[in-house]
Amino acid sequence: MNVAFKTLGCKLNYAETSTLENVFVSKGHSVVEFNKKSDVVVINTCTVTERADKECRQLIRKALNKSPNAFIIVTGCYAQLSPEEIVSIDGVDLVLGSKEKLNLFDFETKFEKKGTPQIHVSPLSELSGFGPAFSGNVDGRTRAFLKIQDGCDFNCSFCTIPLARGESRSQNINDTITQANHLVENGYKEIVLTGVNVGDYGKKNGANLIELLKNLELISDLRRIRISSIEPNLLNDELLEYWISSEKICKHFHLPLQSGSDDILRKMKRRYSSTDYKNLISKIRKSSTNAGIGVDVICGFPGDDEKCFTETYNFLNNLEVSYLHVFTYSEREKTPSINYDFRIEPKLRFLFSEKLRTLGAKKKLEFYKSNIDKLQNVLFESSLDGNKIEGYTDNYIRVRTNYLPELENLISKVIIKSAKSEYCNCDVI
């Protein structure tokens, strides 16, 4: 059968989708693009924002318009939290929760529409244990996601992730190294370590992230290790020093901030202050002046009025970071913040978000321009159109140059020549 996949949300979701793709292929099925006609459609969902839920519903309808007889499977965080809402959408055949999705074939093998949707969603109390080791490809055979951790114990007041994925748990080091070796043997040059709270790795099984990184670095043909995201309070001095000194760990830090207002950070139940965050950025910049630093920020949280937003805007404007990921706050059921007073009008939330997105675009372009005429190592991916090829630098700059087939899956030295909003042009040395 032809099977189409669509993923919403975080890098962890993409890793899990790729795992499912590999399972289908191993059973003789073919993976096709989402916009192609297919026999089976798998949608792996996110539920961080209301927009993610809405997008999921739109994708289901889009899939059915293209393939009216397709067997529709919905899984992921939205499926875990709102399965009844999903099966109310005409055409959905199977809803799988967080525990069930990687064992999809235990619940369905023939993929024949029955008219009555099935729901298999375990309660939150059963979301324990890490499950099978797995990984997923990002872009052909160059970079791969490797899931090392799942769940979260932090319980920020706005977040549904602990409700959808359960408590923090980690894959053991031996399984992770085995999986990483398998990826390298299959041609991957870069591994992106993913999880809900990667910095929490190993806390409950006697390990830690530094120990894992040291073991990964021993894999001779693994050229790059990239850490998808890490909580600011978990990037301590020891880890930062090791990270910066490593020849294999990318000098790319994605550090969720969420707000530059200490009042809002406290209401969010974040575990640091704006001063803590600023000091961490300063430490990174002193150690690695050209590191790429990304920031998550939420606009319109209860109480995040004009005064608090201005604090956040000014804080970020003066912070030496490379790009922003901006989210508009939306009320999520069963989170503490849904009951907070001083809600912000939706129009104001979107206005704040647009202002920060504009600021983020400005910072990204400035960072790109600061790298003009600098020597960088780029892992090139595959041809865009037969004429150009793209890849990423160590510090997460997307670069583009004229296509040569020998560049694919090769780490090459380049000189960045010019900067645009989404990528830089470069010359290969």
Q: Where are the domains of the chain?
A: 2-122, 125-250, 283-369, 375-428
Architecture of the 375-428 domain: Beta Barrel (2.40)
Check: CB of residue 89 under 8 Å from CB of residue 72: no
> What residue type is assigned to position 136 of the chain?
G
Res 382: pLDDT: 83
How would you label 268-284 residue by residue, b for 16+ Cβ within 10 Å and e otherwise? Answer: bebebebeebbebbeeb
Res 10: pLDDT: 82
Task: Supply the mean pLDDT for the chain.
Answer: 92
Is domain 125-250 given the CATH code 3.30.750.210 in the classification?
Answer: yes
Using the predicted structure, report yes or no on whether residue 193 has a pLDDT greater than 90: yes
Task: Please state, in angstroms and rounded to a whole number, the distance separating the CA atoms of residues 287 and 204.
Answer: 31
- Mean pLDDT lowest among 118-122, 125-129, 143-147: 125-129
Using the predicted structure, report yes or no on whether residue 133 has a pLDDT greater than 50: no
Nearest to 419 by CA among 357, 376, 386: 376
Select the CATH number that applies to the domain covering 2-122 from these four: 3.40.50.12160, 3.30.70.100, 3.30.930.10, 3.40.50.300.
Answer: 3.40.50.12160
Q: Do domains 2-122 and 375-428 have the same CATH topology?
A: no
* pLDDT top residue among 243 and 7: 243
* Fold entry, domain 283-369: Transcription Regulator spoIIAA (3.30.750)
Give residue-wise pLDDT tens across range 296-314: 999 999 999 999 999 999 9
